[in-house]
């Protein structure tokens, strides 16, 4: 009786050991299988953008297999890259993004330094307040801001609406709170001994910031810069509301309003434009992926 139970138990134990490593191998296989499926789901739209961008309008309207290019052509790229209008959008986007990144860093780095290191009355509350403003979406503010700028235009004669530089005032509201927040996190992780040593050596607060904090927290600064750039490059609502003439538009709005003419969709050109519009963030991401991801996760994990 007892021997029988032992006999029964022995093989099951053995089988279990065997099944564990087999389980692991199968888990790995299934992981790869599902990862491939998800990768297909995630990469289909960008790849389809690329496929369409290589097609002539004749091939698109012939409705052949949409997933394959039979007569690849670069005419869409040539058409867009020689069109002054499209280059204007690209130029506007580049200028706006570069200025916004500069403004953002000039505002948020000193503020983050003051809020994380120079404890003063209300600094903790203020840091939380900064994070709260980050949670206020732009879709809540665009109508009052539009009216505000219209009123300013009426009162002072400074015309801000329908000028690309209005975006330089608007975009920092999206970038500054988050950049300040993640810089607070990065600065807070710098050991206190470092700035105490600097103060003992007679460094002023500004010197402590520029000589110690900025170099030490440089990865954080890159992450914040990337964030500010991608946000200002991708922003769609503000330029749609505040700019209308074609020479003032930035990429996303420009492609959508100028390449779509009435009901005629020139899909080859639209996809080319969209791909070129997506290129700068994608290139930055390809080269600085780790900083990009650090900035992404910093918002919730730090602070």
Binding status of residue 22 toward other proteins by CB under 8 A = no
Shortest Å, Cβ 110 to other proteins: 4
Shortest Å, Cβ 176 to other proteins: 6
Secondary structure of the chain as H, E, C letters:
CHHHHHHHHHHHHHHHHHHHHHHHHHHHHHHHHHHHHHHHHHHHHHHHHHHHHCCCHHHHHCCCCCCCCCCCCCHHHHHHHCCHHHHHHHHHHHHHHHHHHHHHHHHHHHHHHHHHHCCCCCHHHHHHHHHHHHHCCHHHHHHHHHHHHHHHHHHHCCCCCCCCCHHHHHCHHHHHHHHHHHHHHHHHCCCHHHHHHHHHCCCCHHHHHHHHHHHHCHHHHHHHHHHHHHHHHHCCHHHHHHCCCHHHCCHHHHHHHHHEECCEECHHHHHHHHHHHHHHHHHHHHHCHHHHHHHHHHHHHCC
Residue number, 159 or 189, with CB nearest to other proteins: 189
Binding status of residue 52 toward other proteins by CB under 8 A = yes
Task: Return the range that interacts with other proteins (CB under 8 A); candidates 6-14, 63-71, 77-85, 159-167.
Answer: 63-71
Q: Show contacts with other proteins in window 164-183 (CB under 8 A).
A: 169-170, 172-173, 176-177, 180
Shortest Å, Cβ 107 to other proteins: 5
Binding status of residue 60 toward other proteins by CB under 8 A = yes
User: Out of 41, 191, 193, 215, which residue is the one contacting other proteins (CB under 8 A)?
Assistant: 41
Binding status of residue 303 toward other proteins by CB under 8 A = yes
How many residues touch other proteins under the rule CB under 8 A: the total is 98
User: Out of 8, 21, 82, 144, which residue is the one contacting other proteins (CB under 8 A)?
Assistant: 144
Binding status of residue 17 toward other proteins by CB under 8 A = no
Phi, psi of 143 (to 5 degrees): -70, -55
Residue number, 76 or 230, with CB nearest to other proteins: 230
Binding status of residue 148 toward other proteins by CB under 8 A = yes
Binding mask 213-252 for other proteins (x = CB under 8 A): -----------------x--xx-xx--xx---------xx
CA–CA gap between residue 216 and residue 205 (Å, rounded): 15
Binding status of residue 114 toward other proteins by CB under 8 A = yes
Q: Show contacts with other proteins in window 123-142 (CB under 8 A).
A: 123, 126, 128-133, 135-142
């Amino acid at each position: 009786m007892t021997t029988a139970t032992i006999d029964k138990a022995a093989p099951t134990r053995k089988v279990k050991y065997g099944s564990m490593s087999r389980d692991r191998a199968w888990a790995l296989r299934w992981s790869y299988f599902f990862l491939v499926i998800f990768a297909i789901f995630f990469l289909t739209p960008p790849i389809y953008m690329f496929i369409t961008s290589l097609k002539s309008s004749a091939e698109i309207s012939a409705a052949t297999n949409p997933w394959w290019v039979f007569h690849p052509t670069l005419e869409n790229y040539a058409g867009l890259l020689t069109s002054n209008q499209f280059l204007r959008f690209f130029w506007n986007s580049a200028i706006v993004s570069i200025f916004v990144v500069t403004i953002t860093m000039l505002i948020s780095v000193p503020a983050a330094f003051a809020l994380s290191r120079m404890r003063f009355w209300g600094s903790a509350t203020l840091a939380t307040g900064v994070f709260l403003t980050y949670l206020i979406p732009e879709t809540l503010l665009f109508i009052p801001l539009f009216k505000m700028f219209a009123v300013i235009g009426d009162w002072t004669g400074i015309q801000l609406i329908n000028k690309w530089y209005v975006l330089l005032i608007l975009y920092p509201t999206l970038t500054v709170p988050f950049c300040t927040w993640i810089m607070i996190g990065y600065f807070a992780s710098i050991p206190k001994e470092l700035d105490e040593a600097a103060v003992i050596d007679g460094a002023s607060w500004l010197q402590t910031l520029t000589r110690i904090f900025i170099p030490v927290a440089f990865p954080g600064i890159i992450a914040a810069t990337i964030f500010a750039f991608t946000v200002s490059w991708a922003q769609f609502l503000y330029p749609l509301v505040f700019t209308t003439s074609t020479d003032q538009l930035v990429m996303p709005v420009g492609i959508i309003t100028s390449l779509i003419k009435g009901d005629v969709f020139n899909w080859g050109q639209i996809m080319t434009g969209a791909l070129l519009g997506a290129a700068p963030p994608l290139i930055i991401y390809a080269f600085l992926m780790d900083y990009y991801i650090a900035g992404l996760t910093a918002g919730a994990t730090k602070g």
